[in-house]
Amino acid sequence: MANDIQLIFGKHPLLEALDAGKTVEKIYLQQGSRGVQINQILTFAHKRNIPVQMMPLPGMNRLTRKNHQGVIAYLALVDYYLIDDVLPAIFDKGEDPLIIVLDGVSDVRNFGAIARTAFASGVHALVFPDKHTAQINADTIKASAGALYKLQLCRSHSLSGALKLMQLSGLKIYALDTRGHTKPDQIEFSGPTAIVMGGEGSGLSNEVIKAADQLLRLPIMHGFDSYNVSVATGMVLYEVMRQRLK
């Protein structure tokens, strides 16, 4: 990880980086850390959807042997955006938003492959949780063939909250799930659309299923109950692209 992303350690250096608007991938704080500067770091993290993990001292020391003062962070290789800002900008261009939401996709190759297909298919943004998701590192970017530099990437503390915002903005939320009954070619995708894909192991979370307007299911012929998530995303996006290019 340290080879892919620049390491920052110490309270003051991290606050300087945050104040300068640097994009931070993740922050580690030593368990029991307190004080004015720690509170400032937590405030920045909350406003910018930066994941924060509390860690015991031995774990912090494994990340770096230097004087970290109980604070370690990694600068991101990509920029992150707020979905609150992304949607109005898409509408202002006179376009119907097409958003891919990734609910717990944790494999970097799948994440990168989805980004590659999404960008090629006209997707405006990827939305994903700030925890329990793939690390965007050199391997992820390689798998995306650089598409992660071109898509707008939106981390969210709450996927259900992000989906609610999209619905209030006029987007229809379609989630792929084995419990769905409707095939993608039975849906009209020409309007503002968000498509939710579940993680490799557990699939969609219950909160996301409850938030979706409709569950979709891909047809499958032989002995498996699902496709690889990156393949399934490509199959759905082909149908979306087919309709939008008419």
Domains of the chain: 7-75 (3.30.1330.30), 80-244 (3.40.1280.10)
- DSSP letter string, 145-193: TTGGGTSEEEEES-HHHHHHHHHHTT-EEEEE-TT--B-GGGS--SSSE
Question: Collapsing DSSP states into helix, strand and coil, what is residue 103?
Answer: strand
Give the Å distances, CA to CA, from 195 to 101, 102, 220.
6, 9, 19
- Residue 5 pLDDT class (50, 70, 90 cuts): low
pLDDT at 6 (0 to 100): 86
Q: What is the mean pLDDT of residues 12-34?
A: 93
Q: What is the mean pLDDT of residues 125-146?
A: 93
Instruction: Give yes or no for a contact between 159 and 127, defined as CB atoms under 8 angstroms apart.
Output: yes
The pLDDT of residue 4 is above 70? no
pLDDT at 188 (0 to 100): 95
Instruction: Give yes or no for a contact between 204 and 198, defined as CB atoms under 8 angstroms apart.
Output: yes
Q: What is the mean pLDDT of residues 108-116?
A: 97
The pLDDT of residue 1 is above 50? no
State the average pLDDT for the chain: 93
Instruction: Give yes or no for a contact between 50 and 24, defined as CB atoms under 8 angstroms apart.
Output: yes
pLDDT at 178 (0 to 100): 86
- Residue 34 pLDDT class (50, 70, 90 cuts): very high
- pLDDT, one tens digit per residue, over 139-154 is 999 999 999 999 999 9
- Residue 78 pLDDT class (50, 70, 90 cuts): very high
- Residue 35 pLDDT class (50, 70, 90 cuts): very high
pLDDT at 100 (0 to 100): 98
What percentage of the chain reaches a pLDDT higher than 90? Answer: 83
Instruction: Give yes or no for a contact between 92 and 67, defined as CB atoms under 8 angstroms apart.
Output: no
The pLDDT of residue 227 is above 60? yes
- Of 63-67, 136-140, 232-236, highest mean pLDDT: 232-236
- pLDDT, one tens digit per residue, over 143-197 is 999 999 999 999 998 999 999 999 999 999 999 998 888 999 999 999 999 999 9
- The pTM (predicted TM-score) of the whole model is 0.87
- Residue 2 pLDDT class (50, 70, 90 cuts): very low
- Residue 60 pLDDT class (50, 70, 90 cuts): very high
